[in-house]
Amino acid sequence: LSFRSYLLTALTSCLFWNIFGLSAAMDSKPNIILFLADDLGIGDIGCYGNNTLRTPNIDRLAREGVKLTQHIAAAPLCTPSRAAFLTGRYPIRSGMASSNRYRALQWNAGSGGLPANETTFAKLLQQQGYTTGLIGKWHQGVNCESFSDHCHHPLSHGFDYFYGMPFTLLNNCQEDKPPELDVALQAKLWLYSQIIILAVLTLSAGNLSGLISIRWKIIVCFTLVGSLFFISWYSSYGFVQYWNCILMRNRDITEQPMKLERTASFMLKEAASFIKRNRHGPFLLFVSFLHVHTPLFTTVKFQGKSHHGLYGDNVEEMDWMVGKILDSLDKEGLKNRTFTYFASDHGGHLEAQDGSAQLGGWNGIYKGGKGMGGWEGGIRVPGVFTWPGVLPAGVVIDEPTSLMDIYPTVVHLAGGILPQDRVIDGRNLVPLLQGRVQKSEHEFLFHYCGSYLHAVRWHQKDSGAIWKAHYVTPVFHPPGAGACYGKGVCPCFGEGVTHHDPPLLFDLSQDPSEAKPLTADTEPLFDTVIKKIARAVEEHRRTLVPVPEQLSLYNIMWKPWLQPCCGTFPLCWCDKEGDVTQSL
């Protein structure tokens, strides 16, 4: 009897302390680290099934925490996806969804960007006493009306500290790579310029030889117009490396153009320094990797070390960086007080190739990739969470979740209140991550390509089915290739897409690869499901309010008066980091 009493007392005590410890941990405000990769495919890391690339640090996060298998980006390209991540709202609500072919910001000197009236999670955490920092990629705009108003800058959106690229990596940032920015348009502009030059030379030669008679004044005017045309476009596209490939610390430019060989080491140093400075917390650190976007610049230490060429080398270097930042956390004794998250902004870039070499990611069993608003490969991404002692270890959750869910999740952890004057599309994941609920709060998820609705997902909770209806799909090139090779990314509208009426329907719980569309003949619930989704689309569209389009042609064009410059424009060059390359 005494043994039973002892055992009961011990169990009661253990249960009490577990509950008390969990409650105490939840009551305190955790530090928060958000890792977001750029263009990483869900099939590129070990914990999601890749056994040929080495990603031990990301895999460790999955073992020690919770892994989501149906984690969905709100857009298949970086600018709109990151806008949704930061605001918890579909990008069409903030004007960050495009109705033209330019679906991401093109220049640091554009006037478009995340609007000032959008409230990021960083701003809400600031209000809860958090020190907030962003290390890495921004790609949400810089200026509105002058080169120094910084209306779209991270510091104007709730971040206390920023070190990184206000733009995104491009091939143009590396001198030995072919240009990547608007290649098709540049080719046309070069052709028009050459035609003008040829016309001037022909007219001049004809006039000199007497074959034609035309006043020299006309030829001179034609030459001046042609020169102005050339200068107007070459002044932007001819100097992309100087205009777009820059590093900033807060509002100051530190490198213009940036030196890629030392960027990774600088980012690590900045992340470690931020953690150390704010070790007494609470802090929010958003580590927005430049990896694994082209040009895939990889330090010598990792070159040639993977089984998948330069892309694999870049993935493994990024994983190593994750490990070094986690080491900094451990060094300060903060591991058990920190909520950590790892994801990618969208799927891998299938069309990124150099000859036969693949320069983009692998999306596992999922069809499509970057730029494709409906197909799973463009929007299904890794999602891993850890918080020792609060979140369970080694748990896998198959429920539909979204990158937009990070917004209400971190606001809840910080003790904040969500904005009540706008629609927040994300849902707090804490109950799901802790196992206190078994079902995601999402019933419908809407999959946009730019401002065009391409597909809708319905989580039928009573049956466990995950229905997905495709209204629009891209036309693959060449046919059956699974991507739009030769086009950069697949288009959202026009001749490059196919409209489906009735929509293509899949049950992702049975067919996650979207290989076998269902029909009224093969699926008894076909008509019911299509009608249910159509009603959800109508209700969703009633919640949309017209807003200025931040990615309009005017907003995305290069404007010299908005160009961030660390010298006297146009002589923009500086290296405030010094000439000594930091070794890894």
- Tokens for 469? 């209806």
78 belongs to the catalytic site: yes
Question: Under 8 Å CB-to-CB from 489, ≥6 apart: which residues?
Answer: 77, 349, 351, 370, 371, 372
Gap between the Cα atoms of 253 and 256, Å rounded = 7
Alpha carbon distances (Å) from 507 to 438, 459, 516: 20, 10, 9
Residue 96 has a CB neighbour count (10 Å cut-off) of 34
Question: Under 8 Å CB-to-CB from 269, ≥6 apart: which residues?
Answer: 582
- Tokens for 487? 């086009």
Gap between the Cα atoms of 561 and 437, Å rounded = 53
144 backbone dihedrals φ, ψ, rounded to 5°: -115, -55
H or E segment and range at residue 474: strand 465-474
CB under 8 Å, gap of 24 or more: what pairs does 266-271 form?
Answer: 266/163, 266/577, 266/582, 267/135, 267/136, 267/163, 267/164, 267/321, 268/321, 268/324, 268/325, 268/584, 269/582, 270/135, 270/163, 271/135, 271/325, 271/328
Indicate which residue of 47, 71, 139, 459 is catalytic: 139
Gap between the Cα atoms of 25 and 37, Å rounded = 28
Residue 385 has a CB neighbour count (10 Å cut-off) of 25
Gap between the Cα atoms of 237 and 243, Å rounded = 9
Bridge partners (DSSP) listed for residue 339 = 32
- Tokens for 434? 């802790």
Gap between the Cα atoms of 465 and 211, Å rounded = 78
Q: Which SS3 state, helix, strand or coil, does residue 313 take?
A: helix
Gap between the Cα atoms of 233 and 226, Å rounded = 11
47 belongs to the catalytic site: no
- Tokens for 512? 């996650």
Indicate which residue of 47, 71, 78, 484 is catalytic: 78
Catalogue the E-assigned strands of 475-572. 497-507
Q: Are 452 and 499 in contact (CB under 8 A)?
A: no
Q: Which residue matches tokens 């890792």?
A: 35
CB under 8 Å, gap of 24 or more: what pairs does 435-444 form?
Answer: 435/392, 435/395, 438/399, 439/399, 440/399, 440/400, 440/401, 442/399, 442/400, 442/401, 442/402, 443/536, 444/533, 444/536, 444/540
Does residue 570 have a cis peptide bond before it, meaning omega lies within 30 degrees of 0?
Answer: yes
Taking alpha carbons only, the member of 161, 156, 154 closest to residue 82 is: 154
Q: Are 114 and 96 in contact (CB under 8 A)?
A: yes
Q: Which residue matches tokens 């463009």?
A: 378
Angle at 99 between CA 560 and CA 452, to 5 degrees: 150
Angle at 50 between CA 49 and CA 56, to 5 degrees: 100
- Tokens for 330? 């451990």
Gap between the Cα atoms of 385 and 406, Å rounded = 11
Instruction: Please name the residue ranges forming H helices in 337-491.
Output: 376-379, 406-413, 430-434
Q: Active-site positions?
A: 78, 139
